[in-house]
Amino acid sequence: MAFRTKENSFRKVQLVSLIDMIFILLVFFMVTVTVVRLTIKEQKLPVPTPISERGRAQIVIQLLNNGNFLWLDDHATAQISKVMDTIEKNYSYLSPSELNRKKTEEALSILLKKNIFRKDQMEGKLKHLLKIADSDPSSHYFVLLRSPDEIPYYEIINIMQKLNSAKYQNVLYGCVGGRLDDIKNSQNVKVVIEKDKNGRRRENLQIDF
Amino acid sequence: MTKSRNKNNNKAKIGFTYLLVFLLLLFFFYAIRMILLHRLPPDNSRIPLTALEEKIPIPPRPGVQGIIITGPVIKDLIFQIDTKTSQLRKLDWRRIESIDKTADVKIRATVLRNGSLEFNPITDVISPGHSYAGNEIAKVVETWKYTHYKHGRIYFWFNFPSSGVKLTIDTHELVRNEDLSKKYFVRNGLLFYINGLPLSCVNQAGRVFVGE
């Protein structure tokens, strides 16, 4: 009987997987190795910076340390606009810089007298804003929330939660640190007429810190 | 059997060759990198310890340097007939046309700063031979009052026999009131209060020549 001798099993090296591994290693090292700078000139990385340092919003809420808050919206703008017109008529004899100073003083006095509300009025104000936003899905509101560092975080979170409850998510908000003193000590308050993206002319209230 | 063994051997040789080539490629890649790194000045190849102390200037966030609160839309003011006036009377065009088809009446009036119309029914109403039509029209027109955005001379020409424009209103002598804020634009609206006259027969921007 001729038995076939078992061949010594030749240990085959699995070449396919080896080639795959080599490829992977090659690609890995090529991608992760740092880029060698061939020129001596330093490369400048573009750092995104805000185009305007002024915050633009439909509503500005400045929280105060005593729990009250300053609420500035288009009503405040309309109030200030009337005052500015009156001052321009009555004080036309003043030089432009003096007229500007007079306007700023009057505007600030009105803003701080008529637009500061108590803590318990916040809920009502936010409800009213949400009611207006919910009645018109195409409208968009941006609320700039300014608060000093001492305000507990949960108070800000509460306001943000309420603003989030807009039915059509058309109320956005942004938070930034700031104090009432920034507004009080403003050297330049003016009403600026601008055209919005729909071509309508709007009166915007500009307060520079 | 020898043939298959030879085949396997060849495959193994090819495999090892590939492996060698790839390893050589890797080696060369690293070698070139090392050489290039060595050629760079020391600053560019290593981050000095002092660099860690440098502070990156943080750009100011929006709302830190100032705020702009979007205000109300500025609506244009419209100089037009003030329909809220209680004594306002409508001119019945068809009635006057039925009585006097050939009536040709011109009125020279002044719009006062409060919007009311002022004219002398004898000297400022010119209607030769059509006294009835002239009187009727004058009685109605003197009740017309406008929104108080403009003042000045205004002329009306009621031309009944015309086949085209039957009413011409001349407003080129009207000027904007000075007490209005400059931010408002003043546009002309409907300047007449007439029943039975199609808009296509009216020219509100025409010229009317009235003898002095």
pLDDT of the residue at A149: 87
- What are the b/e assignments for B120-159, b being 16+ CB within 10 Å? eeeebbebeebeebbebbbebbbbbbbbbbbbebbbbbbb
pLDDT greater than 80 at residue B53: no
Q: Which residue of B has its CA nearest to A53?
A: B62
Best residue in B69, B75, B76, B181 for a mutation probing chain A (most A CBs within 10 Å): B69
Residue type, A194: E
The Cα B130–Cα B135 span in angstroms is: 9
Contact yes or no for B66 and A12 at CB 8 A: no
Residues of A in contact with B68 (CB under 8 A): 54-57, 192, 204-207
Range name among A59-73, A106-120, A185-199, B42-56 with the lowest pLDDT average = B42-56
Q: What is the pLDDT of residues A171-208, one digit of tens each?
A: 999 888 888 998 899 989 999 998 887 888 899 999 98
The Cα A183–Cα A15 span in angstroms is: 74
Residue the block writes with tokens 């005593």: A66
Q: What is the pLDDT of residues A95-120, one digit of tens each?
A: 999 999 999 999 999 999 999 999 99
pLDDT of the residue at B49: 60
The residue-averaged pLDDT of B163-188 equals 91
Range name among A138-142, A163-167, B11-15 with the lowest pLDDT average = B11-15
| Cβ count near A208 (within 10 Å) | 16
Q: Which residue of B has its CA nearest to A176?
A: B63
The residue-averaged pLDDT of B175-187 equals 89
Residue the block writes with tokens 């031309």: B159
pLDDT of the residue at A41: 47
pLDDT of the residue at A139: 86
Contact yes or no for B19 and A26 at CB 8 A: no
Asked whether the beta carbons of A63 and A69 are under 8 A apart, the reply is yes
pLDDT of the residue at B170: 94
Please report, for residues A41, A47, A86, A93, B50, the alpha-carbon distance to residue A44 in angstroms, rounded to integers and kept in the order given: 9, 9, 52, 52, 19
Range name among A12-21, A63-72, B74-83 with the lowest pLDDT average = A12-21
Residue the block writes with tokens 């321009």: A88
Higher pLDDT: B112 or B51? It is B112
Q: What is the pLDDT of residues A123-164, one digit of tens each?
A: 999 999 999 999 988 888 999 999 998 899 899 999 999 999
Mean per-residue pLDDT over chain B, rounded: 86
As beta bridge partners, residue A208 has: A188, B66
Contact yes or no for A22 and B15 at CB 8 A: no
Higher pLDDT: B45 or B15? It is B15
Answer whether B68 touches A (CB < 8 Å).
Answer: yes
Mean per-residue pLDDT over chain A, rounded: 84
pLDDT of the residue at B50: 60
Q: Which residue of B has its CA nearest to A35?
A: B33
Write down the domain spans for chain A: 59-208
Return the closest-CA partner of residue B208 out of B193, B186, B191, B194.
Answer: B191
pLDDT of the residue at A37: 47
Q: How far is A36 from chain B (nearest CA, A)?
A: 7
Write down the domain spans for chain B: 2-53, 77-203
Q: Which residue of B has its CA nearest to A30?
A: B29
Contact yes or no for B64 and A85 at CB 8 A: no
pLDDT greater than 70 at residue A65: yes
The Cα B71–Cα A201 span in angstroms is: 10
Contact yes or no for B69 and A60 at CB 8 A: yes
